[in-house]
């Protein structure tokens, strides 16, 4: 009778191969990092989904920022009474402004602090409270915690948040970078469409070899923006405002905006302005944000009073005059929305809409003031950044591919050895 061992062995190896396919794979979330070697910091954003109902002031405290900055970054009207105590609904998606610094050779924000509460664990803080923007391992390392199972109530933790600067540009145009946590239903194409960018741009910025993404991955998403040109000695030097949103500066005295589809920063007195230095341009009766136009046979004479930074408590204004072929239309300001009280079902499972699409019911447009980086960390993908943003030798490209975990592979190989030993006798 013919020996059946080869057939049995072949059959067993086939079963082994099928077992490999059936082993569940557990992916490790990836995050895009930017290597750095200087002290330069920039304005950046993180995308955050509320894990429960929270007041505006509570969300601001969670990230260590000014509540007004949170509201203006999301084009929420700050003129509503007691708006800082307005309760925002669970599952609401917000863009949170943060300062991105260079720490230990990579870009991240380390200004956020969290005070622990009863029943907190590093995992719940990372995954629930901060929505996956940080991992429990990162919290443990940043706070030198030897035993993660022991947290003292009231203990203050440093929360390192992901961020990128890439010189404040994307394809040589002003941009602010949003750190976005991928959801179950997301596709790279959908994220690109939501933020008015392209698949190739997202792949380039995040050093991706394919369009594959997994829940929990953190992508750097470039947001078109309006950049300032303030002098270096101004306290708000480097101010940059994402398209379709606002920023408050000069001790809450000045409000700057970046209109839909615009690249020009427009600043005017803020609605919160109480005790502020003069905002009148010298040698004229024009106030900050005012523009006069006069048509002539040669064209349109335009005179404007613009904002040039906040220096030693003083608002700097600049009077400029120019002759333009035609008179410009009214200043286009981003629509303001009322503080949200509910979340539309579809917005719970999709990225925040691009700023240019953020208008709609309840939106209000303010009146304009017209007067007739090298290396990588474990679990992170080194970013190449947008074109011409950092030297090619600083970062290398790496696809967001998740290999079979080592432990599972070892188990599978052990099964194969056992099969082979059995059929060799």
- What is the tens place of the pLDDT at every residue in 369-408? 444 443 333 344 445 556 544 333 333 333 343 333 444 4
Q: Please report the pLDDT score of residue 146 as a whole number.
A: 93
Q: Please report the pLDDT score of residue 125 as a whole number.
A: 97
Q: Please report the pLDDT score of residue 315 as a whole number.
A: 97
Round to the nearest angstrom and report the end-to-end CA distance of the chain: 17
Is pLDDT at 9 greater than 80 in this prediction? no
Over residues 296-316, the mean pLDDT reads: 95
Between β-strands 32-33 and 381-382, what pairing exists: parallel, antiparallel or unpaired?
Answer: parallel
Token code pair at residue 164 = 């990128």
User: Is the Cβ–Cβ distance between 316 and 322 less than 8 Å?
Assistant: no
Q: What is the mean pLDDT of the chain?
A: 82
Over residues 146-161, the mean pLDDT reads: 94
Specify burial of residue 348 (Cβ count, 10 A radius: 0-12, 13-18, 19+).
middle
| Strand residue runs (E) in 237-288 | 240-242, 245-249, 254-258, 266-269
- What is the tens place of the pLDDT at every residue in 156-206? 999 999 999 999 999 999 999 999 999 999 999 999 999 999 999 999 999
User: Is the Cβ–Cβ distance between 245 and 73 less than 8 Å?
Assistant: yes
Q: Please report the pLDDT score of residue 356 as a whole number.
A: 41
Is residue 407 helix, strand or coil? helix
Between β-strands 106-115 and 156-162, what pairing exists: parallel, antiparallel or unpaired?
Answer: antiparallel
Percent pLDDT > 90 in the chain is 67
Q: Please report the pLDDT score of residue 386 as a whole number.
A: 61
d(C-alpha 104, C-alpha 168), whole Å: 20
Is pLDDT at 354 greater than 70 in this prediction? no
- What count of residues does the chain have? 425
Token code pair at residue 9 = 């062995």
C-alpha 98 chain-centroid distance = 8
- What is the tens place of the pLDDT at every residue in 168-178? 999 999 999 99
Over residues 1-28, the mean pLDDT reads: 46
- What is the tens place of the pLDDT at every residue in 44-56? 999 999 999 999 9
| Strand residue runs (E) in 182-227 | 218-227
Nearest to 281 by CA among 269, 296, 263: 269
Is residue 151 helix, strand or coil? coil
């Amino acid at each position: 009778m013919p020996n059946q061992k080869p057939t049995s062995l072949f059959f067993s190896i086939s079963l082994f191969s099928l077992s490999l396919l059936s082993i569940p794979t557990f992916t490790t979330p990836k995050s895009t990092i930017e290597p750095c070697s200087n002290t330069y910091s920039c304005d950046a954003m993180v995308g955050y989904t509320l894990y429960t109902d929270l007041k505006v002031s509570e969300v601001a405290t969670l990230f260590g920022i000014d509540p007004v900055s949170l509201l203006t970054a999301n084009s929420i009207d700050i003129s509503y009474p007691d708006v800082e105590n307005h309760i925002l609904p669970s599952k609401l998606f917000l863009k949170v402004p943060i300062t991105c610094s260079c720490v230990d050779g990579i870009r991240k924000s380390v200004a956020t602090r969290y005070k622990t509460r009863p029943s907190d664990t590093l995992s719940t803080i990372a995954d629930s409270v901060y929505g996956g923007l940080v991992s429990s391992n990162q919290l443990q390392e940043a706070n030198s915690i030897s035993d993660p199972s022991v947290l003292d109530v009231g203990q203050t933790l440093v929360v390192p948040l992901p961020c990128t600067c890439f010189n404040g540009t994307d394809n040589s145009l002003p941009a602010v970078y949003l750190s976005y946590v991928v959801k179950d239903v997301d596709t790279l194409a959908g994220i690109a469409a939501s933020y008015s960018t392209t698949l190739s741009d997202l792949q380039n910025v995040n050093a991706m070899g394919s369009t594959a993404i997994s829940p929990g991955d953190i992508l750097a998403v470039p947001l078109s923006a309006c950049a300032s040109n303030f002098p270096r000695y101004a306290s708000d030097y480097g101010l940059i405002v994402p398209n379709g949103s606002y920023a408050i500066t000069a001790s809450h005295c000045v409000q700057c905006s970046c209109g839909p589809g615009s690249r020009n920063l427009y600043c005017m007195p803020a609605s919160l302005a109480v005790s502020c230095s003069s905002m009148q341009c010298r040698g004229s009766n024009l106030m900050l944000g005012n523009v006069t136009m006069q048509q002539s046979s040669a064209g349109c004479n335009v005179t404007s009073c613009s904002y040039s930074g906040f220096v030693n408590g003083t608002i700097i204004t600049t009077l400029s005059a120019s002759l333009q072929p035609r008179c410009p239309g009214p200043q286009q300001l981003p629509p303001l929305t009322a503080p949200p009280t509910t979340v539309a079902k579809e917005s719970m499972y999709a990225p925040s809409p691009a700023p240019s699409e953020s208008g709609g019911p309840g939106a209000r447009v303010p009146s304009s003031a017209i007067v007739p980086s090298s290396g990588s960390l474990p679990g992170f993908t080194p970013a190449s950044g947008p074109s011409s943003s950092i030297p090619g030798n600083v970062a290398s490209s790496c696809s967001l591919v998740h290999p079979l975990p080592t432990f599972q592979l070892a188990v599978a190989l052990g099964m194969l050895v056992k099969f082979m030993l059995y059929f060799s006798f």
